[in-house]
Structures are given as C-alpha cells and as structure tokens.
C-alpha cells in the first residue's frame, strides 16, 4: 500500500533536453529529476533548490536551480501547462508542509 501511495504523488513526462529524449519526473517526496535515454539520472533536485520556473505558454519549461546547476530548459513536446501546474502544486505543498 505504501508504494502505491508514493506512486500517486509522482508524475512523469517525456521531454527533450539538449537534443536528447529524456523523462522528467516530478515526485512529491523526492523532488524533480531528469532521466536520460538509458534511464540514467542526469540531474535530481529537491523542491527547495528551485529558485524560479518559467514557460513560454507552449512546449518549453525553464527551471532555475541556482548555482552550480543553473537554468535547465526542457521541451515537453506537448503543452507544458499540465506539468507546470503539477510542479507548482507539489512545490507549494512542500513549502507549506
């Protein structure tokens, strides 16, 4: 049961980062991560390290983690709006406890 509860608070989305097919994972407990084509973790950050986010109202999402990682640009292939909404909801949940 505990594993199924964890899965309820995890959302994945295919994306393109620096020309590579990747998968963005937004997890309420673990934060946000990007996996490469071979499922290797390219980066992973807790929500607390997010400095700012932005999107173009279309496909692109920018997440600024500050130094040393800086800003990451992701092409979410389809509309970024659902992922942005979930990311902000999880981020707010973590910041308010």
Domain boundaries defined on the chain: 2-96
Task: Round the CA-based radius of gyration of the chain to a whole number and report it.
Answer: 13
Rounded Cα distance between 49 and 79, Å, is: 24
Residue 30: partners with Cβ closer than 8 Å, 6 or more residues away: 10, 44, 46
- pLDDT value, residue 44: 97
pLDDT tens digits, 61-76: 999 999 988 999 999 9
Query: Please, what's the largest Cα pairwise distance for the chain?
Result: 38
Q: What is the CATH architecture of 2-96?
A: Roll (2.30)
- pLDDT reported for residue 3: 53
Which percentage of the chain shows pLDDT scores above 70? 91
Confidence at residue 1, expressed as pLDDT on a 0 to 100 scale: 40
pLDDT in tens, 75-90: 999 999 999 999 989 8
Picking from 95, 41, 45, 92, the residue whose alpha carbon sits closest to that of residue 68 is: 45
Region 40-44: what's the mean pLDDT? Answer: 96
């Amino acid at each position: 049961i505990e594993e199924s509860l964890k899965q309820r608070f995890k959302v994945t989305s295919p994306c393109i980062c620096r020309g590579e097919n990747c998968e963005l994972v937004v997890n309420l407990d673990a934060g946000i991560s990007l996996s490469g084509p071979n499922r290797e973790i390219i980066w992973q950050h807790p929500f607390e390290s997010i400095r700012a986010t932005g999107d173009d109202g279309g496909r692109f999402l920018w997440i600024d983690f500050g130094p040393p990682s800086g800003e990451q640009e992701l092409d979410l292939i389809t509309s970024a709006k659902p992922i942005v909404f979930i990311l902000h909801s999880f981020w707010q949940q973590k910041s308010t406890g």
